[in-house]
Amino acid sequence: MQSRNSESGCHCGETAGLQLSGRVNHRKMGWLRMIALVVFSGFAGCASKGPMPSYSTSSLPPMSESGQTESPDRWWTTFNDRELDSQVNRALGENLDLAIALQRLRAAQAVTRREASDLYPDLNGFFVNQNSFGPGPTDSRIDWGLDAAYQVDLWGRNRTRVAAEQLRTEATRADYHAVALTLSAEIARNWFALIEASAQIELLEEQVETNVKGLKAVELRYAEIGEGGSPNVLRQRGLVQSTLEQIIVVKADMEVLEHRLSVLTGQPPQTASYITGSDFPELPPLPYTGLPSELLSRRPDVRAAYLALEAADRDVAVAVRDQYPRLDLSASLVNSAENPETLFRDWFLSIGGQLLGPILDGGQRRAEVDRRKALVCERFAAYRQAILIALQEVEDGLALERYQIERIEKLETQVQLAQLASEQLLQFFITGEATYLDVLSSNQTEQRLQRSLLSARLDLILNRIRLYLALAGDFDTRPDPSLILPPSGPQNLSEITIDVPPQELDAEGAGLQDDTLDRSEPGIDSPEPELPSTFRSVFSEFQSGSEQNIFSP
């Protein structure tokens, strides 16, 4: 009977409360309207968010030079070197710097999902069993139920914060593609440097052979006149040793390049060995540079700077809305019982809300708005700087290639003249019309020019790589299964996926509109990158909660 009375009394209390609320509802609404007017008039003077600074790229002057051939996304394939393609393909599947960039992207996606969780209510369950011991009968009580809380996004603060994190995630994605581009360029540079080193060794071996023949001729010449220990013989021997010393230097550089290439492809450098050949490829036609606006829309570093600017602008909006009142709603459904027999009998429902608004904070929130506005100006300057650097890199690549071609032509002419001079001076030396020092000096000049010509041809290839990198945009970073991969490479490319953050949430979710992200910027819907195969097993163990150290071999 007591429990029934308490249950009945609870319902009566709720009914009385509802009736009283109905009688005074119009009075409460009048007071609420007056309070709202006072509050909103107070917040009308709060700092507001101005428009995001913008920079028009359509009025930029065109590039100084342009070819007619569109370079592919995988620009290194223009060199028609299957081995180079295989090395870049291996690096895309094994390089650990790329794996680090991928994990940064995954972390950014997780932050976006974490921030988006504030757009939904929190629901928790609880169970409390409380026993009191002392004089008299033991008091026991069981409380259990559900507790819900929700922050109403009155001013769009939470939605704007999620939008800012989405933009930062896309900036991180652009950074990932910038790392992939830099990696491909480093592979190509090292590959062609190895080709140049092989060509240098072949040339130096030919020069050693020539110098040894010259030494025999000089020794025979001065032996006939009884001057076997002539300074001229010593000079020729010195030339032979100098050439051999150059071979040692090139071999050392070659081994360092092999180590570097091995690490870039995710392999241990101890057993690095590559057969590159000694022939440079034909220089592909000059690529089409396009309009500056097209270039800037392709470049991932410029896009990352732009997205960072947009995210900072959203942060200002968040800081402005932090000055406005906040409405929190809460509700709980509790079942309370003194013994198991009455466990599901007495239920209590509680619904409430609170409106919180800053009154005095010593100017803290206004200072935060000013700080974030300054960050927007900083990001805007960084964005414009990224634009200028992108344009500079293209112009530098065009200029260096143009002058390097002219330099190679001059070097080829110098080599031909030096060869003729060496042949004629040798004939004059035989007839006694020239000294040995003239012959030696001419040979040294010829051999130096031959080595310089090889280095200049490498520089031409490296300048073209630099130009490709300046013009390049995103590409599919998944390894090409048509290329032969090492046994440690990816075995099943379709097994690896990563979470994609929502590009926009509907009105019932985050409330983001279609203009949350600038769809004119490329790369938003680019293919998802894959985790390097050398990192997959330890990563999957880490994700599954394995206690093994993921950094152990």
Q: What confidence score (pLDDT) does residue 57 get? A: 82
**Range of lowest pLDDT (109-123, 262-276, 503-517):** 503-517
Q: What confidence score (pLDDT) does residue 159 get? A: 95
pLDDT in tens, 55-113: 888 888 999 898 888 999 999 999 999 999 999 999 999 999 999 999 999 999 999 99
**CB burial class (10 A; 0-12, 13-18, 19+) of residue 469?**
buried
Residue 179 above 80 pLDDT? yes
**Contacts with 341 (C-beta within 8 Å, 6 or more apart), sequence order:** none
Of residues 222 and 513, which shows the higher confidence score? 222
* For the chain, domain boundaries: 78-128+141-471
Continuous H helices in 431-532: 436-471
> What does the pLDDT average to over 398-413?
96
Q: Which pLDDT band, with edges at 50, 70 and 90, does 139 fall under?
A: confident
> What does the pLDDT average to over 541-553?
39
Residue 229 above 90 pLDDT? no
Residue 272 above 50 pLDDT? yes
Residue 516 above 70 pLDDT? no
Overall residue count recorded for the chain in this entry: 553
Residue 546 above 70 pLDDT? no
Q: What confidence score (pLDDT) does residue 89 get? A: 94
Provide φ and ψ at 76, rounded to 5°: -65, -15
Q: What confidence score (pLDDT) does residue 468 get? A: 96
> What does the pLDDT average to over 162-169?
96
**266: enclosing H helix or E strand:** none
The model carries a pTM of 0.77
Q: Please say whether the beta carbons of 284 and 79 come within 8 A.
A: yes
pLDDT in tens, 431-457: 778 888 888 899 999 999 999 999 999
Say which amino acid occupies 502: P
Residue 333, CA atoms < 13 Å, CB-side half-sphere: 7
Q: What is the mean pLDDT of the chain?
A: 81
> What does the pLDDT average to over 131-136?
71
Q: What confidence score (pLDDT) does residue 413 get? A: 96
Angstrom distance (rounded) from CA 238 to CA 215: 10
pLDDT in tens, 357-405: 999 989 999 999 999 999 999 999 999 999 999 999 999 999 999 999 9
Task: Quote the CATH superfamily of domain 78-128+141-471.
Answer: Outer membrane efflux proteins (OEP) (1.20.1600.10)
